A and B are shown apart, each in its own frame.
Chain A
Amino acid sequence: SQQGEEDPQALSIQEGENATMNCSYKTSINNLQWYRQNSGRGLVHLILIRSNEREKHSGRLRVTLDTSKKSSSLLITASRAADTASYFCATSTAGKSTFGDGTTLTVKP
Chain B
Amino acid sequence: DVKVTQSSRYLVKRTGEKVFLECVQDMDHENMFWYRQDPGLGLRLIYFSYDVKMKEKGDIPEGYSVSREKKERFSLILESASTNQTSMYLCASSFWAGSTGELFFGEGSRLTVL
- Give residues in A with beta carbon < 8 Å to B: 2, 30-31, 33, 35, 40-45, 48, 88, 90, 92, 95-102
Q: Contacts of B58 on A, CB cut-off 8 Å? A: 96
Interface residues of B, count at CB 8 A: 27
Asked if residues B100 and A31 are in contact (CB atoms below 8 Å), the reply is yes
Asked if residues B105 and A43 are in contact (CB atoms below 8 Å), the reply is yes
A48 touches which one: B90, B101, B104, B107 (CB < 8 A)?
B101
A43 touches which one: B40, B100, B101, B103 (CB < 8 A)?
B103
Give the CA-CA distance A88 to B102 in the complex, in Å. Answer: 13
Give the distance to chain A from B83, nearest Cβ to Cβ, in Å: 21
Q: Contacts of A41 on B, CB cut-off 8 Å? A: 107-108
Which B20-65 residues sit within 8 Å CB-CB of chain A? 31, 33, 35, 40-43, 45, 48, 50, 58-59
The closest CB in chain B to the CB of A90 belongs to: B103
The closest CB in chain B to the CB of A100 belongs to: B42
Give the distance to chain B from A98, nearest Cβ to Cβ, in Å: 7
Give the distance to chain A from B56, nearest Cβ to Cβ, in Å: 8
B100 touches which one: A2, A88, A95, A100 (CB < 8 A)?
A95
Known: A33-B102, A95-B100, A97-B33. 8 other contacts (CB 8 A): A2-B41, A41-B108, A43-B43, A45-B102, A48-B101, A95-B31, A96-B48, A101-B40
